[in-house]
Structures are given as C-alpha cells and as structure tokens.
Amino acid sequence: MDTRWILTRRQLLQTMAASGALAAADLAWWEEPLVSPRRAWGATPVRFQFSVPEPKRTALVESLAQRFNQSQKDFEVKVEFVPQAQARQKLITGIAANNPPDCCQVWDNWVGEFEGMGAVDDLTARVKDWKYYSDVTPIAWQTVTVKGKILSFPWVVTNDGVYWRTDRATEYGVKPPKDDWTWDEFLAAARTFTKGDRNQYGFGMRGQGTWAVLYATEFMYANGAQALKDGKVAINSKEAAEGLDWYLDLFRKYKVCPPSVPTDGWRGIVEGFGRGVTNMYIHNSGSSEEQKDFVGVKNFATVPLPVGPAKKRVSFYFSETLTGFKNAKNREGAWRFMSWLMDDEPKFMYCKTLGLLPARKTLAERPEFAKDPAYQGFIKSFPFSIVSPYLAYAGWGGKLDSEGVPLFQQALVGKLTAREFLEKFADMLTKNMG
C-alpha cells in the first residue's frame, strides 16, 4: 500500500492550524470575507446602531448602508441592528463603557439623556453650514436642540393624528369627521363604531408604553392644561384632571375601547385596527403604510385630533434622529453618513417606505406625501403641533416609561382617580427635573 498519500495525525493537525491562521488573518484584514463585499482600500469602518421595530426596516437600512458604501471610498458603514426594546439600554451601557457606536438612530426623547451623560457630539456649528439647514423645518430642529445645542439630525418627524375606517363609517352611517371636529363628535363616532356582538370597538386606546401617557396628555392639553408653567410642573391642574377623566371614560364608562387596552402597546393598537377590531386609533404616520396592507388603501383615512372644550388641541411632535457621539472612533465618517442619509434620495426612500414624514420641507411638499390621503391628518396637524413637553428634562425620559405608565394604568383600571394619578405623576416629574 502506498502510504505517501495517507495523512498522519501530525500532518492533519499542522494543516488545520495553518488553515486556521490563514482564516484568522483574512478575517482580521477583510472582516467577514465570505459575507460582505470587500471594502475599498483605506475605507475606515463606521458603526451605525439602528433599532429594529420591524423586518421591513432591516432590509431598507441595510440597502441604504450599501448604497452609501458604494457612493464613496473613504468609509464603510456597518449597521448594528438592535431590537427596539433594548436600543436605549444598549446605547447607554455603550456610552458608560466608553464604547458607543459612531452614530445611531434614536428617538429625540433619548438624546437629552445622552447629553446629560456628556456623550453627544455638538453639531451646531457644522449643521448651520450644512447645505440643507434652512430646508429643515424649525420645529424639527427644536426637537433635537438641548440647552441651545443642536445634537442630532432630525431624520424624520412624526406628529399624532386619528386613523379611522372609511368603509365602516359608510356601513354604519358615521359622518366623515371634519378637520375641526370636536370631542363630542369623536365620542359619538366611537359609540356608533362600537358593535359588541361583532367584536368591534370605536377606539383603540393605548395603555402601554410611553405614548400611552403622551396621547392622554394631548387630551389634557385640549382641555387647557399644560405640563409646565413658569418652570414648574403643572400637569396636576383642574383642566388636566377633567381632560384626563374624559379620555379615560372612553374605556371606563363609555366602553368604546376593547378590553385589552391596559396592555395594548404600539403593536396592539396597530394590529387591533388592522384586524378590524377597532375603528379608530391615535398614532403617528408610521403605521399608515402598514394599514394600507392590512385594511386597504381605500378603507381608511387620517384626520387631526379633535378640538377640546377649551377650543384647543395639540399634536406632539417627535423626530427620529441621527445622533453621533463624542467618543466615537470615527466622527468624520459618522457625520458623512448621517448627512448623506439626509440627502434627497435616501431620505425620500426611508420616509416613503415606512410612511414617515420628512423633516425637510422640499421633500414633504412632494405629491407622494402632500397628496396621499393617509398622510392628510398629519399634514393638517402641523399648524398646532408642538414639541412634546416631556422632552424638557433629560430625567423624564426613562421615568415616564418605568413610573408614569404603571401609574397611568392604575388610573385606567380605576385603582386611581384621574386627580390621584396626576398628583403622583406631577410629583414624579418634579423629583426628576434634574
């Protein structure tokens, strides 16, 4: 037997070790050589953290990053996808450990916390020289301005409006709401829409997550309340209690909401409407594209929030930001990528695919947004949209969720009255004004 071609144990081990060393060297040089395309010589990596609420965004953002990488040779963006629920804690632990990503996509209500940690890159000077500075709406800049410093790009903006089922309205004889409809008209529509025997409810109220408190606050404002007055917390006012009482009664007294309200978060209200259980709900434009698939383009529309007894109404304005960090390893790459995402094509693609409104005026005026009925409720709400009062203090961001929401749920299920909830809530806000 010719033994020349038989691999001895020693030879096998040597071969394996050599292969391993080669693979390790290749990995170190190219990073994921078999998966991603090889980057250009000298391209430095840019870490971009993106929180993923849905699979559609993953594909979209990956594609945007690839387009950016192909558009220039200096930087290569690597997207780090993080589930939405863990995004904030991951960023904060990254900052605390002095290892933040170079840039990230986050909601504006977190940026204040990051600024409080001294972690965010001040973009003020650079942004003011940026080519689209004056094209971004002033209120969008306001959402990312903390203590006079512009800390982020407002990638997209959102405000709240009411989604309602046009086909069911025709079926049940509900008059289409006018743009300046009132609370009474809202309640009347919700009552007509409620058909217990068919498992249908008028209004999908949100009971879980930060926005549960924010939507309720919008109704308090419509009754003449304010969260802050002369630098002090004023959310425990009589107007706020009455406004909240009316809002909570939609669930507690009038029974126009499904029984799942206390645990219905974002997915709960969107799916409730999509599956035909509810006929109205409050949300931003972010679920409009989803509803086109769920209930059909012709079967729903959006309308501004109703006018309250104080002849007022507000819609809270938020922005999804692009934020860079002081201790980023590649600050220049982060700036280049973030400003590229604000350019016409990538920004338009991102907004249109996800149903979000662009922060840049020239893009928002395009017919794809301005003429689409699904966006009308939000566009018509711009004149009375304000920046959320809960962005005022960095300490309020996390507390709103961990303490504000359980308190709100107690009011929702009748364990606290509206007044008791507001007293406790105001106390919590006052303690965290740092």
Partner 1 sequence: MASSPATVAVALPRPLLSRRARELVTGYLYLLPVAICLGGTIVFPILKAMHMSLYNHVLIKPHEYRFIGLGNYARLLHDETFWLTLWNSMVWVFGSVIFQFLGGFAAALLLHQSFRGRAFVRTVTLLPWIVPGVVVALVWEWLYQPNYGVINDLLLRLGWLSDRVAWLSDPALAMAAVVTTNVWRGVPFFAIMLLAGLQAIPDELYEAARVDGASVTERFWHITLPLVRPIIVVATATRIIWTFNYADLIFVMTSGGPANATQITSTYTLLMAYSNLDFGYAATLSVVLLVIMMVFTTLYLRVTRGIESAT
- Residues forming the site for partner 1 (CB under 8 A): 86, 89, 92-93, 96, 113, 116-118, 196, 199, 207-208, 258-264, 272, 275, 277, 394-395, 398-399, 401-402, 405-406, 409-410, 412-413, 415, 434
Specify whether the CB–CB gap between 86 and 31 falls below 8 A: no
The span from the CA of 201 to the CA of 195, in Å, is 6
The DSSP letter of residue 306 is P
CA distances 66 to 77, 105, 283, 382, 425, Å, are 8, 17, 31, 34, 45
- DSSP sequence for 201-262: BS-B---SSHHHHHHHHHHHHHTT--SEETTEE-TTSHHHHHHHHHHHHHHHTS--S-TTGG
Residue 401 Cβ, how far from partner 1 at the closest point, in Å? 6
Residue 363 Cβ, how far from partner 1 at the closest point, in Å? 34
Three-state secondary structure readout of 183-198 = HHHHHHHHHHHCEHHH
Residue 197 Cβ, how far from partner 1 at the closest point, in Å? 11
The span from the CA of 266 to the CA of 207, in Å, is 9
Specify whether the CB–CB gap between 307 and 180 falls below 8 A: yes
Residue 402 Cβ, how far from partner 1 at the closest point, in Å? 4
Beta carbon nearer to partner 1, 208 or 385: 208
CA distances 429 to 11, 221, 236, 396, Å, are 70, 17, 11, 7
Token digits for 208?
């879980």
Beta carbon nearer to partner 1, 53 or 116: 116
Beta carbon nearer to partner 1, 173 or 434: 434
What is the SS3 assignment for 164? strand
Beta carbon nearer to partner 1, 62 or 403: 403
Beta carbon nearer to partner 1, 257 or 364: 257
Residue 411 Cβ, how far from partner 1 at the closest point, in Å? 8
What is Dmax (Cα atoms) for the chain? 100
Beta carbon nearer to partner 1, 290 or 372: 290
The span from the CA of 54 to the CA of 41, in Å, is 34
What is the SS3 assignment for 20? helix
Residue 79 Cβ, how far from partner 1 at the closest point, in Å? 23
Beta carbon nearer to partner 1, 73 or 415: 415
Residue 283 Cβ, how far from partner 1 at the closest point, in Å? 17
Beta carbon nearer to partner 1, 116 or 309: 116
Residue 191 Cβ, how far from partner 1 at the closest point, in Å? 17
The span from the CA of 275 to the CA of 205, in Å, is 15
Residue 106 Cβ, how far from partner 1 at the closest point, in Å? 13
Beta carbon nearer to partner 1, 84 or 182: 84
Q: Identify any residues that bridge with 75 across adjacent strands, giving them in sequence order.
A: 44
